[in-house]
Amino acid sequence: MKRKILFVDDEVNVLDGLRRMLHPLRREWDMEFASNAGEALAAVEKQFRDAVVSDMRMPGMDGARLLAEVKKRSPETVRIILSGQADKKAFLRSALSAHRFLSKPCGYDALRLAIDRGCSLRDLVSSPAIRKLVMSMETVPSLPQWYGELIAALESPDASLEDVAEIVGKDIGMAAKILQLSNSAYFGYREPVADIAHATQILGLDAIQALALSLHVFSEFKKRRIDGVSVDDIWEHSLTVGEFARRIARAEKAGPEAVNQAFVAGLLHDVGILAFAVNLPEEYEKVLARAKAEKTGHWRAEAEAFGASHAEMGAYLMGLWGLPDDVVEAIAYHHRPSLCPERSLSPLAFVHVADVLEHEARGCAGRWSAPEPDADYLRELGVADRLPAWLDACLKSDPA
């Protein structure tokens, strides 16, 4: 079926340029062009659009507000901002309402890829209700402790990027948002960004201050505990899995990029649990209780109840936000890596093993069900006998 894409820009020349450039895609995309927000909203109300790509600066309602309205009326639509490079303030204002950010002029390949990736990620999740929930998520809340530290660091007269990067690197929600923005085409980096220190540098201290202090892009977790899982526990687990994945990657002499991706993918691998806990606390409590009673993995119980486990849910959200593909893949398959078509010592392998070893090292008493090692996958990679050495590397007090 053809995808329905709506482009919005108040400049006729820009719309004409897009029409010409995208003409070869007319068999794959059903394209419509609107010259203002009112026209765009009328089109969205009339018929479902897979994606809306909007200019930022428009008279009347601007792109950020338009996309916020699109989200209300059609939560399953992929929302993309296409803005002029010079306008950093406007770009930051769209940090909550847009899934992705592109900058003008945007080439055929970049535009096609952003739209196709955003739309095809939906296939990961079959339930329309869960899809809607992921598409509507603007932020992943932060642990109150790190949120408080970030605000204090940013308000301090001697705020430094190093301090900010250190705090962001400990928090799932902040890391996800900072990586979403720094990976956007707005900044024009060709390589995916998975190093949090680099990501904070790309944005700059002034932008992070604006995001946190005036645009309120970060938020705190309100409910610290739902029956069956404690938010603090997820944080501790995620941070340790990130650190373990980084140490295993180093032990395997992976390059710096893979090492960074392993850490970030480890930090974010269970972000889907937070998405369930924030959006569906009561239903999720029941699913966790059922998993416990039936002595089965909570990811299986989630898939049965919601049509997607936290792994697919988290990968869908992070993919939609434009995080690096290797990170999204590691999140998607961290419980069952053999489902991934690729076989290589990648961030996926490091995160899968780190998740298993973290549970083993800490013991699982009182926690959600322990992940199971995917023995076939590890054998196929030829690393099944490396587990003791990797556990040693993880538990060393001072990693190389």
Contact residues: Fe ion, CB under 5 A? 270, 355
Distance in angstroms (rounded) separating the CA atoms of residues 383 and 379: 6
Q: Which two tokens stand for residue 147?
A: 């949120």
For Fe ion, give the closer residue by CB, 98 or 271: 271
Calpha distance 122→273 (Å, rounded)? 18
H or E element: which one contains 301? helix 298-306
Q: Are strands 51-55 and 78-84 parallel, antiparallel or unpaired?
A: parallel
Contact status, residue 8 vs residue 66, Cβ threshold 8 Å:
yes
Q: Which is nearer to Fe ion, 171 or 270 (CB)?
A: 270
State how far the Cα of 321 lies from the Cα of 298, in Å rounded to an integer: 25
Minimum CB–partner distance for residue 328 and Fe ion (Å) = 14
- Do β-strands 229-230 and 225-226 pair in parallel, antiparallel, or remain unpaired? antiparallel
CB of 211 to Fe ion, least distance (A): 28
CB nearer to Fe ion: pick between 140 and 217: 140
| CB neighbourhood size of 128 (10 A) | 12
Find the shortest distance in angstroms from Cβ 52 to Fe ion.
Answer: 32
When the beta carbons of 31 and 351 are compared against Fe ion, the nearer one is: 351
Distance of CA 127 to the CA centre of its chain: 19
**In the complex, least distance from residue 188 CB atom to Fe ion, rounded to whole angstroms:** 34
Longest CA pairwise span in the chain (Å): 63
Q: Kindly calculate the radius of gyration of the chain based on its CA atoms and give it in whole angstroms.
A: 21
Q: What are phi and psi of 173, to 5 degrees?
A: -65, -45
Q: Kindly report the backbone phi and psi dihedral angles of residue 81, in degrees, each rounded to the nearest multiple of 5, phi listed first.
A: -100, 135
* CB of 332 vs Fe ion, minimal distance in Å: 11
User: What is the rounded (10 degree) CA torsion for 230, 311, 279, 236?
Assistant: 20
Cα–Cα–Cα angle for 137, 305, 328, rounded to 5 degrees: 45
Distance CA 182, CA 200 (A): 8
Give the shortest CB-392-to-Fe ion separation in angstroms: 21
CB closer to Fe ion out of 100 and 170: 170
102 or 327: CB nearest Fe ion: 327
Task: Give DSSP secondary structure letters for 330-341.
Answer: HHHTSS-GGGSS
| Per-residue DSSP letter, 99 | S
What is the closest distance, in whole angstroms, from the C-beta atom of residue 273 to Fe ion in the complex? Answer: 7
Closest distance of CB 358 from Fe ion, Å: 7
Helix (H, G, I), strand (E, B) or coil at 34: strand
What's the CA angle centered on 217, arms 270 and 114, to 5 degrees? 70
* Nearest to Fe ion of 14, 288 (CB atom): 288
Comparison of 50 and 374: residue with beta carbon closer to Fe ion: 374
Smaller CB separation from Fe ion, 84 or 307: 307
Q: How far is the CB of 351 from Fe ion (least distance, A)?
A: 9
